[in-house]
Structure 1
Amino acid sequence: MGKTRKTYDIHFKKKVVDLHLSDGMGYNAISKEMGIDKNQVRRWVNHFQTEGMKGLEEKRGKAKGAGMGRPRVRPEDSESKIKRLEAENEMLKKLLNM
């Protein structure tokens, strides 16, 4: 079974970043105090410095761009779409009459 990834809220990440930027703590000291990996601290600091608060938001599981989600192998043509919708309507009519 695979590892489950721990997610942290944006306020926790901001607190970690502030410890480094404002208080001047090192990555190792922060990682020991907060119980997270030093590379994770470094990553959050870099994201914050390049993107601001937006960089600390969770990005996993969010599709990007106009064609969000998995693209269709081939688009459905008008005729087959009409047939499919007519079949759905017939099925619904039968269910309502039961």
Structure 2
Amino acid sequence: MGKIRKTYDKEFKLQAIKLYYEEGMGSNSIGKELGIGISIVKRWINHYKREGIQGLEEKRGKATGFNKGRPRIEPLSDTEKIQRLEAENAYLKKLLALKKEMIQKRKP
């Protein structure tokens, strides 16, 4: 099982950024002052440089795209299941045919 990462709120991250820019503290000093890892402070500073205040917002759990994020709440309908399985079956048949072809080419 993986490690559970601690989540920090935006105000806490902003406090670290202010120490870096306004107080001129280094990431090592900020890490010791706030009791967090140096790499975390460096990551926050880089995100802030690239994206501004939005770079400090939590991004975990907001994945988008195909097959990312939380699973669907509603199960697939029967026709959607059949279509998905037919496409998977066709793909596997093509893969099997390619493997057979490669094996036949290797034989003398």
TM-score of the two chains, using structure 1 as the length reference: 0.65
Matches within 5 A, 1:46-65: 46-65=46-65
Partner of 1:43: 43
2-structure distance, mates of 1:63, 1:3: 19
Count of residue pairs the alignment pairs up: 78
Q: Deviations over 1:34-80 (max 9, x none)?
A: 000011101101100110111000000112258864799xxx78967
- Which portions of structure 1, spanning 4 or more consecutive aligned residues, are displaced by more than 3 angstroms? 65-72, 76-81
> CA RMSD for the aligned pairs?
2.9
CA deviation after TM superposition for structure 1 residue 3, in Å: 2.0
- Stretches of structure 1 that go unaligned for 5 or more consecutive residues are 82-98
Is 1:30 aligned with 2:30?
yes
TM-score of the two chains, using structure 2 as the length reference: 0.59
- Percent identity between the aligned chains? 54
- Stretches of structure 2 that go unaligned for 5 or more consecutive residues are 82-108
